[in-house]
Amino acid sequence: MSKRGYHHGNLRQALVDGAIALIRDRGPTGFTLSEAAKQAGVTPAAVYRHFEGREDLIAEVAQQGYEIFADLMAFAYDSGQPSDLASFEATGRAYLAFARKYPGHYVAMFESGISINRTPDLARVAHRAHSVFEKAAIKLSEHIPPEKRPPPQMFSAHIWALSHGVVELFARGSPGTQSPFPPEDLLETGIGIYLRGLGLIAQDR
Contact call for residues 126 and 118 (beta carbons, < 8 A): no
Nearest CA among 93, 46, 59 for reference residue 192: 93
Average pLDDT for residues 50-74, to the nearest whole number?
A: 93
Contact call for residues 164 and 95 (beta carbons, < 8 A): yes
Angle between helices 54-80 and 11-26 (to 10 degrees): 80
Which is higher by pLDDT, 68 or 10?
A: 68
What confidence score (pLDDT) does residue 202 get?
62
How far is Cα 93 from Cα 95, in angstroms, rounded to an integer? 5
pLDDT tens-digit map of 80-90:
888 888 888 88
Which residues of the chain form CATH 1.10.357.10? 54-198
- DSSP-derived secondary structure letter, 144: S
Which residues of the chain form CATH 1.10.10? 1-51
Q: Which fold has domain 1-51?
A: Arc Repressor Mutant, subunit A (1.10.10)
Average pLDDT for residues 61-89, to the nearest whole number?
A: 91
Maximum mean pLDDT: which of 123-137, 157-171, 187-201: 123-137
